[in-house]
C-alpha cells in the first residue's frame, strides 16, 4: 500500500497563520472604488440635475418628454402633473417626472426685488405709431 501513496502527499499540510489578512480584501475595496467613481457618483449627479430641472419648470417653458413629445407648458396642475400644449388647441396632461429636458425657458416675471430694479433702470422703448394705408379707390 505504500507504493500507491507518494510520500509527499502523505505529509500534513502546513499550519496557516492565525489572524486577518488585509491583502485578501484589497481587490474588493479597489473594485468598489472603481464602481463608485465610474457608475454611482455620475448617476447621483445626473439625478440631482434632473430633480433641479423638474423643480424649476414654469408656465411657458418649451419641453420635451421621455416619449418624444415637444410642447409648451400651459398650466402647472399640481406638484406631480403638468398641462402641456403639444399643438394649437391640443393640451395633454403629463406626469412631471416624464419631462426629459427643457428646450427653451421663458423670461422670469418682473416683480422680484433684484429683477424689478433692473427693469426700472432700462429705458422703455417708444411705441411706433400705426402706419396708415393708402385709400382704396373704387373703379367705376
Give the pLDDT confidence of 93-132 residue by residue, as tens digits: 999 999 999 998 877 656 544 443 444 445 555 556 556 6
- Predicted local confidence at residue 20, as pLDDT: 76
Give the separation between CA 139 and CA 91, rounded to whole angstroms: 49
Quote the cell numbers at residue 59: 408656465
Q: Say whether domain 58-109 belongs to CATH 3.30.390.
A: no
* pTM to 2 decimal places: 0.55
Q: What is the pLDDT of residues 36-48, one digit of tens each?
A: 999 999 999 999 9
Domains of the chain, by residue range, sit at 24-55, 58-109
Q: Stretch 71-85: mean pLDDT, rounded?
A: 93
Amino acid at each position: 500500500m505504500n507504493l500507491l501513496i507518494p510520500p509527499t502527499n502523505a505529509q500534513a499540510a502546513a499550519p496557516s497563520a492565525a489572524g486577518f489578512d488585509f491583502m485578501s480584501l484589497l481587490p474588493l475595496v479597489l473594485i468598489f472604488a472603481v464602481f463608485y467613481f465610474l457608475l454611482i457618483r455620475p448617476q447621483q449627479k445626473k439625478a440631482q440635475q434632473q430633480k433641479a430641472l423638474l423643480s424649476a419648470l414654469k408656465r411657458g417653458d418649451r419641453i420635451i418628454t421621455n416619449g418624444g413629445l415637444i410642447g409648451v407648458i400651459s398650466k402647472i396642475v399640481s406638484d406631480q402633473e403638468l398641462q402641456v400644449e403639444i399643438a394649437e388647441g391640443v393640451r395633454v396632461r403629463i406626469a412631471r417626472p416624464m419631462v426629459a429636458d427643457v428646450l427653451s425657458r421663458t423670461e422670469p416675471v418682473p416683480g422680484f426685488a433684484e429683477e424689478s430694479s433692473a427693469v426700472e433702470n432700462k429705458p422703455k422703448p417708444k411705441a411706433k405709431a400705426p402706419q396708415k394705408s393708402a385709400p382704396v379707390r373704387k373703379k367705376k
